[in-house]
Amino acid sequence: MALPKSHNYDPKHVFDIMVIGSGIAGMAASLFSVNRKLSTVQAGSVGGTLFASGLFDLMAIHPVEEKRVWADPWEAIAALRKQGSLHPYARISDDAIQSAFEEIASFLSSAGMAYRFEKNRNLPVITSMGTIKHTYCVPESMWHGVEAYNEKAPCLIIDFNGLREFSGRQISSTLREEWPGLRAVRISFPDTEGLNEVHPVHLAQALELSAVRESLAARIQPEIREARYAGFPAVLGIKKTAAICAHLEKLLGIPVFEIPMMPASVPGFRLKEIFDSVLPPKGLLRLIDKRVESVARLDNGNFILNIGGPDQEQFIQARGVILATGRFMGKGLLSDRKGIYEPLFHLPLHQPESRISWHHERFLDPSGHPINSAGVEVDDSFRAVDGTGKTIYDNLFIAGSILAHQDWMRMKCGSGLAIATAYAAVNAFINNFMNKSDRITA
């Protein structure tokens, strides 16, 4: 039986690179690979992308214990390096990180989801709970929110009946002191009157029809009054957000922006949609919903990956592998009574001595838990190393949250880490392996 479509997939083909994982790190790695004309194959289920808020954090908090928020992410990274941290950022130059972001942003923008960032500054973004999150790179659709917040301009937050994940009232009451011009209004989304519950993706889909936008705008119009901005939950379409924002702005006469929400979040769907639909035409072979079950290595060093499927197993041969399987949620790391392990390559891990020391005594300890820094240790080429620092395979590269010595959730560096390490890993594959290895030319 053929692999899930690929009109011209040849099972005997030897791929340059296999990306294992389709979270942000995996997707970024695939993008960088196909951009560099590597023949690339990728496996993994939907992953954490769906849950992403759409914001790309670079680095905002360090050290975690002090919860110190940095206005300039680069300064935070510099501080990391100065302290001799083993954080993966310490192995990548600022220029490389910057280029990685630019490459991703330009890709997303050409796919219809533009991003904005300022060179040396984290941006303040209102969250659905009314807190301010500092992040590096925001979708265009959220940009006016940053402006509105900076100006503290009169602003209307629109909330929808039945949308559980979002509360305009909570936002305005939390921010009241700081931003008195913020006002919330709750209305019914067109055609949802009487429903107890509405779901963000459905609203986003509905807004893709102009008639729905018109009827929504008509409901909002009388509430605008003095407001100079209109903030919406992040539901302004999935596939044509830019056009929808522009249309709403025209209808309402003021700039509109989106406020990121808790999962399942629409911007996450947008990212997934773009990765899913734009990468394959660029030459990526996506093995949707397939897991790599096991790995073997040939004498020539190539990896043979056993791709599981319900009906039949398949084998893929690749010259190099980028492992971006994430931590526990993505099942890149598993745990048993003895500790944590990495199930595919059985890589040695940096991890707490014993299970007891996984967590600090206080569950909400601000400094996080040692387990949150566990993972695979790498060399400067992002190749896995053993306890003595020796490279394990010259063609196995690691990217994303599976890496050790980082606590992305608390440091607010998740996507940045995923993107930057994927970039570094792909470039290292080319520079330190492919261009050097005589195996390729042989």
Partner 1 sequence: MERTLLGSTFLFTFLFVSLGICLAGIIFRIARWFAVDTGPEAGFIPVKKRVSAVLKGTAAALFSLKFLKIFKVLFFDLLLQSRILKTSLSRWIMHFSIFFGFMMLLLMHALDEIITKRLFPGYFPTLDPFQFLRNLFGVMVIVGVGIAVYRRLRYRGPMLITRYTDRYAVALLAVIIVSGFLEESSKMISESSFNRMMSGYFSACEPHDETALKAFWSREYGSVFPTMKFRITPELLARGKKLSEESCASCHADTRTAFISYPAAGFMKPFALSLSKSRAEVWLYYIHVLACFIGLAYLPFSKFFHLITDPLTLLVNGISDKKKVNPLTAMPRRAMELDACTECGTCSRYCSVAPVFRMLQNTEILPMHKLRTVKRLASGKDMDSAELQIISEGAFICTTCFKCTEVCPAGINLQDQWLASRELLSETGHPLPHVWLKKFNASEWSDRMRYFEASWKEADAGKERYYNLTDDSNVFAPCIQCQTCTNVCPVVAARTDPKDAVDITPHKIMNLLRLGLHDLALGSRMVWDCTTCYQCQENCPQGIKVTDIIYELKNRAYEHFKKIDRTAEINEDPC
Partner 2 sequence: MKFAFFKGCKIPYYLEQYGSSTRAVLKTFGVRLLELDFCCCGYPNRDLHFESFVLSAARNMALAEKKNLDILTPCKCCYGSLKHAFHFLHENERLRRDINAELAKEGLVWKGKSTVKHLLTVLCDDIGLPAIYASIVKPLGGLSVAAHYGCHALRPSNIVHFDDPLAPSIFEDLISATGAKPVGWPRRLDCCGNPLWGKNNAISLALMRTKIADAYESGADCICTACTYCQLQFDAIQSSVKTDNAASPELPSILYTQLLGLSMGLPERLLGIKRNIIPVEKLKIV
Ligand X SMILES: Cc1cc2nc3c(=O)[nH]c(=O)nc-3n(C[C@H](O)[C@H](O)[C@H](O)COP(=O)(O)OP(=O)(O)OC[C@H]3O[C@@H](n4cnc5c(N)ncnc54)[C@H](O)[C@@H]3O)c2cc1C
**Contact footprint for partner 1 (CB under 8 A):** 45-48, 50-51, 191-197, 199-202, 205-206, 263-264, 269, 289, 329
Residue identified by tokens 């990274």 is: 77
What does R_g of the chain's alpha carbons equal in angstroms? 23
Q: Which is nearer to partner 2, 285 or 417 (CB)?
A: 285
What's the closest the beta carbon of residue 280 comes to partner 1, in angstroms?
A: 16
Record the tokens describing residue 253, joined without a space: 């006469």
Residue type, 128: S
Q: Which residue has the tokens 């917040």?
A: 149
Give the x-and-dash track for 52-81 against ligand X (CB under 6 A).
xx-xxx------------------------
CA neighbor of 309 nearest in space, from 13, 40, 15, 1: 1
CB 331 within 8 A of CB 365: no
Please identify which residue in 332, 333, 382, 397 interacts with ligand X, judged by CB under 6 A: 332
Distance CA 94, CA 27 (A): 21
The listed partner (partner 2, partner 1, ligand X, none) that binds 280, CB under 5 to 8 Å by sort, is partner 2
309, interface contact from ligand X, partner 2, partner 1, none, CB < 5-8 Å by kind: partner 2
Q: Which residues contact 214 (CB under 8 A, 6 or more apart)?
A: 251
Question: Of ligand X, partner 1, partner 2, none, which one sits near residue 325, judging by CB under 5 to 8 A according to partner kind?
Answer: ligand X
Task: Write the CA distances from 1 to 14, 246, 288, integer angstroms.
Answer: 19, 46, 15
Residues 379 and 404: beta-carbon distance below 8 Å: no
Closest approach, Cβ 230 to partner 1, in A, equals 23
Give which of partner 2, partner 1, ligand X, none residue 7 binds (C-beta under 5 to 8 Å, depending on kind): partner 2
Amino acid at 344: L
Please say which residue, 72 or 276, places its beta carbon nearer to partner 2: 276
Per-residue binding string, ligand X, 276-305, x by CB under 6 A, is: ---------------xx-------------
Please give the Cα distance from 383 to 385 (Å, whole number). 6
The site for partner 2 (CB under 8 A) is made up of: 1-7, 205, 208-211, 238-240, 272-273, 276-278, 280-281, 286, 288-290, 309-311
Residue 199 touches which member of partner 1, partner 2, ligand X, none, C-beta under 5-8 Å by kind: partner 1
CA gap 134, 68 in Å, rounded: 12
Alpha-carbon span 256 to 231, nearest angstrom: 6
- To partner 2, the closest distance from the beta carbon of 6 in angstroms equals 8
Segment contacting ligand X by CB under 6 A, of 8-16, 39-47, 221-229, 275-283? 39-47
